């Protein structure tokens, strides 16, 4: 059976941030029931796929069985973040070319399986509004072994695909890009999700500039507040230097 390699973010601070998000989702899921979570945003390129992948990894690392479904059938395969000669997937299942058991593949990360979007199809709207897609969601809901199903979607306001998928979810995470996503658009997406009876878990603010992070979130800071550590007499000089180097390696956390 083929497996799929997913690469974990090497930056510990970034991993911690996703682990925190996964923990919050878990805390909110009081009845510990299976959840179908939609990762959505107002516009393209705000970070949905990045979040969907990393959230799946964080939940899987906490021991939950996670299935990530890529429902974005418009993006060329080579432009995919998770592309690995895995051509068959959702579109092929809906078109009856493969069985679900063949379409869902294991990844190199325990508890994390993946359903790729599949081969390019000229009409994703027809596929996502088909009874076969509806049936797939029902099958997944009946699968007691799955704790979380994460749907990566195209932006909600760009094409109808995103809305078709969102309507099938239990809950949604909205990704917003700092300094880019407009409040009225966010409001519209919120209202759209509410009309579909999808619970909004929250908004993930992505691509926060380090300076903004410092200005707005300093009191919550544990990534950037290490300076006073260096100035602490009790903190050995060598150790302080090591910490400083570690911190500079973490600079990739926020763009």
Ligand X SMILES: Nc1ncnc2c1ncn2[C@@H]1O[C@H](COP(=O)(O)OP(=O)(O)OP(=O)(O)O)[C@@H](O)[C@H]1O
Which residue ranges make up the site for ligand X (CB under 6 A)? 41, 44-50, 72, 81, 154-155, 206-207, 255
| Encoded tokens for 137 | 């969601």
Binder of residue 147, out of ligand X, Mg ion, none (CB less than 5 to 8 A by kind): none
Binder of residue 41, out of Mg ion, ligand X, none (CB less than 5 to 8 A by kind): ligand X
CB of 247 to ligand X, least distance (A): 17
In the bound state with ligand X, the residue whose beta carbon lies nearer, of 29 and 165, is: 165
Strand ranges (DSSP E) for the chain?
3-4, 35-41, 66-70, 104-107, 112-115, 148-152, 171-177, 199-206
If we measure between CA atoms, which residue out of 199, 123, 201, 187 comes closest to residue 160?
Answer: 123
Binder of residue 29, out of ligand X, Mg ion, none (CB less than 5 to 8 A by kind): none
CB of 63 to ligand X, least distance (A): 25
| Residue number with the smallest Cβ distance to Mg ion | 49
CB of 221 to Mg ion, least distance (A): 29
If we measure between CA atoms, which residue out of 191, 193, 194 comes closest to residue 153?
Answer: 193
- At residue 180, the 3 state secondary structure works out as coil
Instruction: Using CB under 5 A, list all residues that contact Mg ion.
Output: 48-49
Binder of residue 155, out of Mg ion, ligand X, none (CB less than 5 to 8 A by kind): ligand X
Q: How far apart are CA 181 and CA 178, in angstroms?
A: 7
Binder of residue 40, out of Mg ion, ligand X, none (CB less than 5 to 8 A by kind): none
Distance in angstroms between the alpha carbons of the first and the last residue of the chain? 38
Q: How far apart are CA 67 and CA 75, in angstroms?
A: 20
In the bound state with ligand X, the residue whose beta carbon lies nearer, of 29 and 149, is: 149
CB of 155 to ligand X, least distance (A): 5
């Amino acid at each position: 059976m083929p497996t799929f390699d997913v690469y974990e973010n090497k930056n510990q601070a970034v991993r911690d941030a996703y682990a925190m998000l996964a923990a919050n989702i878990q805390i909110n899921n009081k009845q510990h029931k299976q959840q179908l979570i939609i990762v959505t945003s107002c516009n393209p390129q705000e970070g949905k796929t990045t979040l969907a992948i990393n959230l799946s990894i964080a939940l899987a690392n906490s021991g939950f069985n996670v299935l990530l479904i890529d429902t974005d059938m418009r993006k060329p395969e080579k432009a995919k973040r998770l592309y690995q000669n895995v051509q068959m997937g959702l579109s092929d299942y809906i078109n009856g070319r493969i069985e679900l058991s063949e379409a869902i593949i294991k990844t190199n990360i325990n508890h994390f399986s993946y359903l790729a979007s599949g081969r390019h199809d000229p009409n994703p709207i027809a596929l996502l509004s088909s009874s076969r897609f509806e049936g797939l969601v029902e099958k997944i809901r009946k699968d007691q072994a799955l704790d979380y199903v994460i749907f990566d979607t195209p932006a909600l306001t760009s094409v109808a695909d995103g809305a078709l998928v969102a309507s099938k979810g239990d809950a949604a995470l909205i990704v917003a890009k700092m300094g880019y996503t407009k409040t009225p658009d966010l409001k519209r997406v919120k209202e759209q999700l509410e009309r579909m009876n999808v619970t909004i878990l929250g908004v993930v603010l992505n691509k926060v500039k380090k300076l903004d992070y410092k200005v707005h979130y300093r009191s919550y800071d544990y990534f950037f507040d290490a300076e006073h550590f260096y100035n602490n007499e009790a903190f050995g000089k060598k150790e302080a230097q090591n910490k400083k180097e570690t911190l500079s390696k973490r600079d990739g956390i926020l763009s």
